[in-house]
A and B are shown apart, each in its own frame.
Chain A
Amino acid sequence: MGGSRRIVEVEDLRLAYGTKEVLHGISFTIDRHEIFAVIGPAQSGKTSLLRCLNRTTDFIPGATVSGVVRVDGDDIRRVRDVFGLRRRVGMVAPLPVGLPMSIYDNVAFAPRCSGMTRKDELDEIVERCLTQAALWDEVKDRLSSLGTALSGGQQQRLTIARALSHQPEILCLDEFSIAIDPVTTMRIEDVLKNLRREITIILVTNLVQQARRLADRTMFLWNGEIVELGSSEIVFSEHPADRRTYDYVNGIFG
């Protein structure tokens, strides 16, 4: 554990909802401290892919997963403590979800679930995560007010703070910017650039420019298959390996 360069290894991953297969056997690896972008049109399996990484596919009736996903060397189908796995793989959903509790409790929820009860430790985590999510200055005076009363952009940053609160090794962001304005998006992007020193970031995005700005490598997923996977310079260049990548990135697609 720990030493390997590769933090996520996916081999021949297939996911089907009922009889409809949405991921058709994809394989790739993600390096430690990398920002790894996944781009692709709607229905191409991006969100499903993330669900496979933290095994929230367990909650979808009729979902069947085959293939191997290793997180830090552990085959996630075999991990005993799936809740521990989900703490290692943080997830930020596309639409901001402030839990119906105070801002403080929103961030302290995950640490409490893993058994942390000491007030000073929780205080420290709440402040650190809210600061990392670029929200601390706006809410530090009203931590006891409702998380759901925040604006959409603030709730999205609250969601990010919550995902950071259990100190994940990998942070998955699923189109985190669709509900927030460009200025806030830029602030969060700066946060991500800082975070990569500590963790690995998987960024699913519809914004091609965002992937180009942030990602070391980019994977173009289409209809549940990998069209192209390579360093962002090449994927977004004039001559990516696959013609479809160029078409998609430059809006010629379809």
Chain B
Amino acid sequence: MNGTDLAAQRFARTAHGARRERAQTFAKWLFGAMALAMVLPLVGIVAYLLYRAWPSLGWEFLVDLPRKGMREGGIWPAFVGTLYLVTISLAVAAPIGVLAAIYLNEYARDNWFNRLINLAVINLAGVPSIVHALFGLGAFVYAARLGFSILAASLTLAIMTLPVIIASTREALASVPRAFREACWNVGATRWQTIRGVVLPNSISGILTGIILQVSRAAGETAPIMFTGAVFYKAVQRGDLFPYRLGDQCMALSMHLYTVSTQVPNVEESIPYATAVVLLVSVLLVNATAIAARVFMRRRKRW
């Protein structure tokens, strides 16, 4: 037997090897199919929505006011209302959430008090939005005397998103290896210098992603704002970007979608679908921005 034969024999397919290969192929296709199965509903939803919404879609639909008791016209007041609510709620929740998360992750010692805070954050994240709505009604509308207003509704949304922002920020911070922190402490850096110099630059993309994902949640919730400041109809100037004041009530896309689909008879068929498309596209746009920001910042990530 010469050397080539020996080698051929050594690398020949065994029964065990073939079995392993089959299992490997099977697993690859199975998992791939599952991943694909996840994409299908998304594509289906978007396609169906677009198809049904087509007659109404257009610039006019976005900037026009609802007419004839919502049966015709556009959705401008609701669109701007949602912009207001989301922007203000995140402007409140993001700084508080990020700073709280930095405290909890970087400064807090492991004692019963901080464990209690931790537990509270986790549980708060699991509270249904309707309960947040009731809390907002009691706390902001009545107790704080804000009345049914954009401010009260935004604060309610902020309370709702806060725990999730804290959790996602902590996760982003915790993904920075402890060795980096120790290296900084060993050269005499304070905790803050460590956070600013090493921890934040390497977790900022994760932090931002966590915040921006909350945009879609805040924009989509109906219950919290229905109880605290969103109304059925509110007349504003067509195309006006700043029609509301903080103390006003406002319309919102999620609420509008609910009313035109269930509360008003004889609505033009495509209007609810077009409203849903606007909501969906706005959220997708924001998420796309988040992804772009993440890609940009990950390019600067350094390990």
Q: How far is the CA of A61 from the CA of B110 in the complex (A)?
A: 7
Q: How distant is B302 from chain A, measured CB to nearest CB, in Å?
A: 3
Closest to B192 in A: A113
Q: Closest CB of chain A to B190's CB: distance in Å? A: 6
Once A61-B109, A87-B188, A148-B302 are accepted as A-B contacts, the answer to whether A97 and B193 lie under 8 Å apart by CB is no
Among A85, A93, A113, contact of B182 (Cβ-Cβ < 8 Å): A93
Contact B189 A97 (CB under 8 A): no
Are A163 and B188 closer than 8 Å at their CB atoms? no
CB contacts (< 8 Å) of A26 on chain B: these are none
Contact in complex: A162, B183 (CB < 8 Å) = yes
Q: Which of B110, B182, B189, B202 contacts A100 (CB 8 A)?
A: B202
Report which of A61, A83, A101 forms a contact with B189, defined as CB distance below 8 A.
Answer: A83
Interface size on A, residues (CB 8 A): 31
Q: In the assembly, what is the distance between CA of A93 and CA of B180, in Å?
A: 11
A164 to chain B, nearest CB (A): 10
Q: A100-B198, A100-B202, A110-B187 are in contact. Are A59 and B180 (CB under 8 A)?
A: no
Assess the B302–A146 pair: CB atoms within 8 A. Answer: yes
Greatest chain B CB density within 10 A among A61, A84, A113 is at A113
Q: How far is the CB of A61 from chain B (nearest CB, A)?
A: 5
Nearest B residue (CB) for A107: B187
8 sample A-B contacts, Cβ–Cβ < 8 Å, listed by A number: A54-B186, A85-B188, A93-B182, A93-B183, A113-B184, A113-B189, A114-B188, A148-B303
Give a binary string over B195-218; 1 marks a CB under 8 Å from any A CB, 0 the rest.
Answer: 001100110000000000000000
Which residues of A, 91-138, contact B by the 8 Å Cβ criterion?
A: 91, 93, 95, 97-101, 109-110, 113-114
B residues contacting the other copy or chain, number (CB 8 A) = 21
Q: Closest A-chain residue to B302, C-beta based?
A: A100
B20 within 8 A of A: no
Interface residues of A in 50-100 (CB under 8 A from B): 54, 56, 59, 61-62, 83-87, 90-91, 93, 95, 97-100
Given contacts A99-B198, A100-B202, A100-B302, contact A90 B182 (CB under 8 A): no
What sequence of 0s and 1s flags, for each residue 227-261 of chain B, a beta carbon within 8 Å of any chain A beta carbon?
00000000000000000000000000000000000
Q: Are A93 and B303 interface neighbours, CB within 8 A?
A: no
Complex CA distance for A110 and B187, rounded to whole angstroms: 6
| Bound complex: CA A111 to CA B301 (Å) | 23
Query: What CA separation (Å) do A162 and B187 show in the bound complex?
Result: 8
A132-180 residues with Cβ-Cβ distance < 8 A to B are: 146-148, 159, 162-163, 165-166
Is residue B185 within 8 Å, beta carbon to beta carbon, of the partner chain? yes
User: From residue B194, how far is it (CB to closest CB) to chain A in Å?
Assistant: 9
Shortest Cβ distance from A193 into chain B, in angstroms? 23
Closest-CB distance, A225 to chain B (whole angstroms): 26
**A166 with B187, Cβ < 8 A, contacts A61-B110, A99-B180 known:** yes
**B301 close to A100 (CB less than 8 A):** yes
Q: Is B179 an interface residue (CB 8 A)?
A: yes
Report how far A101 CA is from B201 CA in the complex, Å: 10
Asked if B182 and A59 sit within 8 Å, CB to CB, the answer is yes
A97 to B189, CA, bound (A): 15
Cβ contacts B110-144/A at 8 Å (1 or 0 each): 10000000000000000000000000000000000
Contact of A90 with B187 in the complex, beta carbons under 8 Å = yes
- Is the CB–CB distance between A109 and B186 below 8 Å? no
B179 touches A97 (CB 8 A): yes
A85 to B180, CA, bound (A): 19
Partner of B187, one of A95, A146, A148, A163: A163
Given A61-B110, A109-B197, A148-B302, the answer on whether A100 and B180 have CB atoms closer than 8 Å is: yes
Q: State A26–B193 Cα separation when bound (angstroms).
A: 34
Cβ contact within 8 Å between A159 and B183: yes
Complex Cα–Cα for A85 and B186 (A): 10
> Which single member of A59, A87, A90, A100 contacts B303 (CB below 8 Å)?
A100
Kindly name the residue among B185, B187, B198, B302 whose own CB sees the greatest number of chain A CB atoms within 10 A: B187
Whether the pair A93, B302 counts as a contact (CB closer than 8 A) is no
Tell me which of B188, B198, B202 has the highest count of chain A C-beta atoms within 10 A of its own C-beta. Answer: B188
> When the two chains form their complex, are residues A110 and B189 in contact, meaning their CB atoms are under 8 A apart?
yes
Closest B residue by C-beta to A83: B188
Which residues from chain A contact B188 at a C-beta distance below 8 Å?
A: 83-87, 110, 113-114, 166
The answer on a CB contact under 8 Å between B187 and A86 is yes
